[in-house]
Amino acid sequence: MTEVTQDVCVIVPTIREYECMRAYFDNARKHDFDLDRLHVVLVTEDFCETEAMAEMLATEDVSGEVFDGTAREAWFERHGLGEYSHLIPEASHAQTSFGLLYMWANDFEYGVFIDDDTLPHDEYDFFGRHLRNLQYEGEVTGVSSDEQWVNVLYQNEDEHGLYPRGYPYAAMDETVETEPVHVDDVVASQGLWTNVPDLDAVRILMDGDLDGQAQTRTSAADFGEDFVAREGNYLTVCSMNLAFRREVIPAFYQLPMDDNEWDVGRFDDIWSGVFLKRACDVLGKQIYNGDPLCEHNKAPRSTFSDLTNEVHGLELNEHVWEIIDDAGADAETYAGVFEAMAQELVNGDFTDYENGAFLNHVGEYMLDWLGCLDAITTAEPAQQTVPTPGDD
């Protein structure tokens, strides 16, 4: 065992395509990014190839750990956090939240989310570019609209007509305005994606695709200058290609999806992005969007299966941003803004919405998230260690 010296925690939810990480490690080597800075957390399930995942990290000589359901439960107990294990749903993309708790307990400065159906573009220094984005100070394109929403695919929307998963239907056909703005406190870097666009099932059906992908594809030519959504404007934040500073974790819980009585799914990163953007606006922080691009190779699956997972939350997605739009205006911390948003959800009467009680449920989990982070922070100081490659 060795003391934690890495400053970047790479969080990968995976049940099948973990080998994609070899391409990211090769990209780092090609661009002379120091792999010793990385610690990889593979979040998976008991039925998956956990030993093969650990072997892959060892043969690549990259520090990391594999957490299936049993290992996650043991981690919670080992840290005296058993009462909070419900925060991480089973068999859900929202398990990325476990990686955030791991980061919080181990003092990493930066986090990176990577989905296992992506690959880096060779021309980009994937990790290096994300970290440079997080350190960027200067002028960048600021985007706003009359609907208070920014389509992250806006730059070529006239050609492809695409709106990403989570973009409210009521905010479409917006009037976009751009102007240079100065940024000096970037806390998240969202890399966008080529090949299969990140669409919801309704939009995929409208695009004429029954295999869960899209007939319309994106390329690097669809993306121009990097940009930020201006204050008071929301955007979809997809966690397939995302870097962030440790400081945002209190306001970045990936919401509890799939494993709930309302069967709401597929909005974990979308709603967490809405809440993070509200916190950023209150605190004067920015979310940077654009490069490095990744290649999204979503596997074929039934579009109707995705629709089944999404339909229970579609109406809520139209309104959740409005509910929290004024929350936490006087707060001075991420936790303060997040608590204010949670209280809006916990105390709200959403009976007019289909599955409106799910929003109350989400608010309760948000408060538990803050409680869990506090418990980690106030726990007895312990020597935090991670295994070196090849350790048993």
**Predicted pLDDT at 2:** 41
**Predicted pLDDT at 61:** 97
Whole-number Å distance between alpha carbons of 228 and 137: 12
Helix, strand, coil distribution of the chain in percent, nearest 5: 40, 20, 40
**Predicted pLDDT at 273:** 98
N- to C-terminal Cα separation, the chain:
9
Strand-pairing partners, residue 286, are 186
Backbone angles phi, psi at 373, to 5 degrees: -60, -40
Cβ(89)–Cβ(256) under 8 Å? yes
Pairing of strands 234-235, 149-150: parallel
Q: Where are the alpha helices (DSSP H) in 60-200?
A: 69-78, 96-106, 126-134, 157-160
Task: Measure Cα distances from 280 to 211, 257, 329, 340 in Å.
Answer: 36, 23, 11, 14
Is 383 inside any structural domain? Answer: no
Q: What b/e string do you get for 174-213 counting C-beta neighbours within 10 Å, with b at 16 or more? A: beeebeebebeebbbbbbbbbbbbbbbbbbbbebebeebb
**Predicted pLDDT at 222:** 97
Whole-number Å distance between alpha carbons of 152 and 193: 10
Q: Print pLDDT tens along the chain (392 aa).
A: 344 479 999 999 999 899 999 999 999 999 999 999 999 999 999 999 999 999 999 999 999 999 999 999 999 999 999 999 999 998 889 999 999 999 999 989 999 999 999 999 999 999 999 999 999 999 999 999 999 999 999 999 999 999 999 999 999 999 999 999 999 999 999 999 999 999 999 999 999 999 999 999 999 999 999 999 999 999 999 999 999 999 999 999 999 998 899 999 999 999 999 999 999 999 999 999 999 999 999 999 999 999 999 999 999 999 999 999 999 999 999 999 999 999 999 999 999 999 999 999 999 999 999 999 999 999 865 434 454 444 43
Neighbour tally for 330: CB within 10 Å: 8
Is 385 inside any structural domain? Answer: no
Is 297 inside any structural domain? Answer: yes
Question: What's the one-letter identity of residue 332?
Answer: E
Is 328 inside any structural domain? Answer: yes
Whole-number Å distance between alpha carbons of 27 and 120: 7
Q: Which of 163, 190, 185 is nearest to 176 (CA)?
A: 163
Cβ(162)–Cβ(235) under 8 Å? no
Backbone angles phi, psi at 194, to 5 degrees: -105, 170
CATH assignment at residue 368: 3.90.550
Backbone angles phi, psi at 106, to 5 degrees: -115, 5
Cβ(257)–Cβ(302) under 8 Å? no
Cβ neighbors of 362 (< 8 A, separation 6 or more) are 255, 256, 271, 345
Is 123 inside any structural domain? Answer: yes
With H, G, I as helix, E, B as strand and everything else as coil, classify residue 142.
strand
Domain holding 313, by residue range, is: 2-378
Is 171 inside any structural domain? Answer: yes
**Predicted pLDDT at 171:** 98
Cβ neighbors of 157 (< 8 A, separation 6 or more) are 151, 163
Whole-number Å distance between alpha carbons of 119 and 116: 8
Task: Measure Cα distances from 138 to 101, 135, 141, 181, 286 in Å.
Answer: 32, 10, 10, 8, 12
Is 388 inside any structural domain? Answer: no
Whole-number Å distance between alpha carbons of 214 and 46: 31
- Tally of domains in the chain: 1
DSSP 218: B
Is 386 inside any structural domain? Answer: no
Q: Where are the alpha helices (DSSP H) in the chain?
A: 21-30, 50-59, 69-78, 96-106, 126-134, 157-160, 201-206, 268-283, 303-310, 314-324, 334-347, 357-378
